[in-house]
Amino acid sequence: MANRIEIQNLIYDYKSFDTTTRAIDGINLTIDSGCFVAVLGHNGSGKSTLAKLLNAIFLPTSGKILIDGMDTCDESKLLEIRRRVGMVFQNPDNQLVTNVVEDDVAFGPENIGVPPLEIRKRVDDALHTVGMSDYSKHAPHLLSGGQKQRVAIAGVIAMRPRYIVLDEPTAMLDPRGRQEVISTIKALNRDFGITVILITHHMNETIDADRLIVMADGRVIADATPREVFKNVDRLHEVGLSVPDTTDLIYKLRASGLDIPIGALSVEECARSIYDYFIRRDS
């Protein structure tokens, strides 16, 4: 079976006693193994619901999700799906289960019955990968937010997943913690080929993604490279999202009649394209 996530005509309704709210309203997506996908959207856009559907925490109201060909509704495949699709959540305090870092990392592999010596090896490798080896015997509540999130990531990669879904992993972190987590995630994708699905509302974290999916009201409203997506400044503003300041600057300069190509995302690209414009003019 092909190594990819396939989402077909996905609909998900939240039901409380008297009301039904549609959180996901008809999504079709294919996510290939090995890429780095960012999902951007407001609170209530359905992006966190989508994350929980990928891991079979929620099951589709209608439609289908296939993980490497396995249907998330197939109960006999449940553990295998959850092993392949690792999840990291927003609040670092509420996803660590034990008082010792290495025991926490071992929790996942223990659940799927990995032999003890193999767990030991995986735990050490995972902690090394996220740069937390020195903290293996520490208590999680004494770590910083960024360190806790890295432990949570280690706990997931010790299960050797193919996909890792991160649901706003940096929302509660300070700039330094955010930096630590984002560079860890990028390394996972780059060096270990793990498929990363990063759900966030920080635009700057999406810039380096291979693909950016924008969600609003339970639907996908944009799906392309970050460069292409951010070109569409007006469309993003319509759904209440903004664009990176670099794009915003060029967009405004263009509106004032400066002929600078839109699409620059990084500081360097932005400065370069403005500089090039002035050089062109002067010559």
Partner 1 sequence: MAPIIKTENLRHLYSEGTPFEYVAIDDICFEAEKGEFVGIIGHTGSGKSTFIQHLNGLLKPTAGRVLFGGRDIYESKAFTRDVRFKVGLVFQYPEYQLFEETVYQDIAFGPKNMKLSEEQIDIRVRGAANFVGLDEDLLGKSPFELSGGQKRRVAIAGVMAMQPDVLILDEPTAGLDPEGRESVLANIKRYHDAVNCTVLLVTHSMEEIARSVDRLVVFNRGRIAMNGTPSEIFRRGEELESMGLSVPQISLVARRLKELGLPIDPSVFTVEQVQSALLALRGGAADA
Partner 2 sequence: MLKDITLGQYFPGNTVIHKLDPRTKLVITTLYIAVLFIAGNFISYSVVLAFLILSIYLSHIKLRVILRGIKPLIVIIIITGLLNLFYTEGKELVSWWILTITAEGIKRAVLMIMRIIMLIMGTFLLTYTTSPIQLTDGLESLLSPLKKIRMPIHELSMMMSIALRFIPTLIEETDKIMRAQKARGADFETGNILQRAKALLPLLIPLFVSAFRRADELAVAMESRCYHGGEGRTRMKQLIMQSRDWLTFLGGALLLVCIITLNVYGL
Catalog residues that contact partner 1 under the rule CB under 8 A: 42-44, 90, 144-145, 171-172, 174-177, 201, 203-204, 240-242, 244-246, 248-249, 252-253, 256, 258, 267-268, 270-272, 274-275, 278, 281-282
Cα(230)–Cα(251) distance, integer angstroms? 10
Give the one residue of 106, 153, 233, 241 binding partner 2; rule: CB under 8 A. 106
Considering only 76-84, 182-190, 241-249, 263-271, which stretch makes contact with partner 2 by CB under 8 A?
76-84
> Measured from the CB of residue 199, what is the shortest distance to partner 2 in angstroms?
14
Instruction: List Cβ<8 Å contacts ≥24 apart for 124-131.
Output: 125/158, 126/154, 126/155, 126/157, 126/158, 127/101, 127/102, 127/151, 127/154, 129/154, 129/157, 129/184, 129/187, 129/188, 129/192, 130/154, 130/157, 130/184, 131/180, 131/184
> Measured from the CB of residue 90, what is the shortest distance to partner 2 in angstroms?
9
- Of 86 and 226, which CB lies nearer to partner 2 in the complex structure? 86
- Of 2 and 79, which CB lies nearer to partner 2 in the complex structure? 79
Q: What track of x and - describes contact with partner 2 for positions 114 through 133 (by CB under 8 A)?
A: xxx--xx--x----------
- Of 96 and 212, which CB lies nearer to partner 2 in the complex structure? 96
Cα(30)–Cα(9) distance, integer angstroms? 11
Using alpha carbons only, what angle is made at residue 215 by residues 212 and 218, rounded to the nearest 5 degrees?
150
